[in-house]
């Protein structure tokens, strides 16, 4: 089965995060991720999917023991330098049947996959199987402007060029999937009030910071921000 991580690990996808705006988007994601992981310094982290190394590098720099799971060998291409230096490991395997024992890692991360996989509930169950302390995922929420994603997809595609359709989740769906795996929601960090495509269209990191700063000040990001970074932990 081909998974979305093949696309997110490609050079074409990584190009969406080039330039000042793309760098700012990744900086925001990294900062909020590190907030969610602050309770687990130096822990063993499995990054399921891995993308183009946007999490593996900063987490390795922060002292985490990082392993990336990719569905195909090509998914490890963006991580070659990190792996050669011994600062991270790459393992190829089925994302829904990972080649690891139960609770093999302290924390399991999975970004940019839930909206692009039909078996997203099975993926959440597998993430929970692998995690000892916590699972962190991201997802676009229907409580945000992402609720208009379907009707505005043509405009988004003109701005970003290489974008893809994606599922938007109700908060209850995510909660129920984690509860089915005996996990509870512990913390959430919405990333942006305004759509990421808008920031890319404006092509100004300064303007993006100002727009998002105002939205955060007004409490809009907390209530309606997306994608959401969510940490879930085992019950008991």
pLDDT in tens, 183-232: 999 999 999 999 998 999 999 999 999 999 999 999 999 999 999 999 99
Architecture of domain 5-231: 3-Layer(aba) Sandwich (3.40)
Asked whether 9 and 51 are in contact (CB, 8 A), the reply is yes
Q: What is the mean pLDDT of residues 132-150?
A: 85
Average pLDDT over residues 22-40: 96
Whole-number Å distance between alpha carbons of 147 and 133: 31
pLDDT at residue 11, rounded to an integer: 87
**Arithmetic mean of pLDDT, 135-141:** 96
At 93-131, the pLDDT tens digits run 999 999 999 999 999 999 999 999 999 999 999 999 999
Q: Residue 222: its pLDDT value, please?
A: 95
Question: What is the Cα–Cα distance from 142 to 119, expressed in whole angstroms?
Answer: 19
The strand order across the sheet containing 226-234 reads 88-92, 65-70, 44-48, 105-110, 131-139, 226-234, 183-192
Q: Cβ(161)–Cβ(154) under 8 Å?
A: no
Q: How far is it, in rounded angstroms, from Cα 80 to Cα 47?
A: 15
Q: Is 38 exposed, middle or buried (0-12, 13-18, 19+ CB in 10 A)?
A: exposed
The answer to whether 229 and 135 are in contact (CB under 8 A) is no
Please tell me the distance from the alpha carbon of residue 84 to that of residue 208, in angstroms, as a whole number. Answer: 36
pTM above 0.85, yes or no: yes
Q: In angstroms, how far apart are the furthest CA atoms of the chain?
A: 47
Give the chain's mean pLDDT: 91
With the C-alpha atoms ordered 209, 39, 144, 56, is the resulting torsion angle positive or negative? Answer: positive
Q: Among 143, 148, 189, 185, which residue's Cα sits nearest to residue 166?
A: 148
DSSP state of 10: S
DSSP classification of residue 3: -
Q: What is the pLDDT of residue 153?
A: 45
Token code pair at residue 213: 């700063």
Instruction: Give the model's pLDDT for residue 70.
Output: 94
Place of tokens 């402007």: 145
């Amino acid at each position: 089965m081909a998974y979305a991580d093949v696309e997110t690990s490609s050079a074409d996808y990584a190009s969406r995060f080039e330039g000042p705006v793309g760098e700012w988007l990744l900086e925001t994601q990294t900062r909020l991720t590190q907030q969610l992981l602050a309770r687990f310094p130096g822990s063993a982290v499995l990054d399921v999917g891995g993308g183009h190394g946007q999490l593996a590098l900063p987490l390795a720099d922060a002292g985490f023991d990082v392993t990336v799971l990719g569905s195909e060998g090509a998914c490890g291409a963006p991580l070659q330098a990190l792996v050669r230096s011994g600062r991270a490991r790459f393992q190829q395997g089925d994302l829904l049947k990972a080649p690891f024992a139960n609770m093999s890692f302290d924390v399991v991360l999975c970004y940019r996959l839930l909206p692009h996989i039909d078996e997203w509930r099975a993926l959440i169950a597998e993430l929970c199987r692998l995690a000892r302390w916590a699972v962190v995922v991201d997802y676009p929420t229907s409580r945000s402007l992402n609720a208009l994603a379907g009707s505005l997809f043509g405009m988004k595609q003109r701005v970003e060029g290489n974008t893809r359709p994606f599922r938007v989740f109700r908060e209850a769906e995510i909660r129920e999937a984690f509860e089915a795996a005996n996990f509870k929601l512990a913390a959430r960090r919405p990333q942006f009030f305004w759509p990421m495509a808008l920031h890319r269209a404006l092509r100004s990191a300064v303007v993006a910071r100002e727009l998002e700063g105002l939205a955060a000040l007004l409490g809009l990001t907390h209530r309606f921000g997306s994608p959401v970074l969510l940490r879930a932990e085992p019950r008991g």
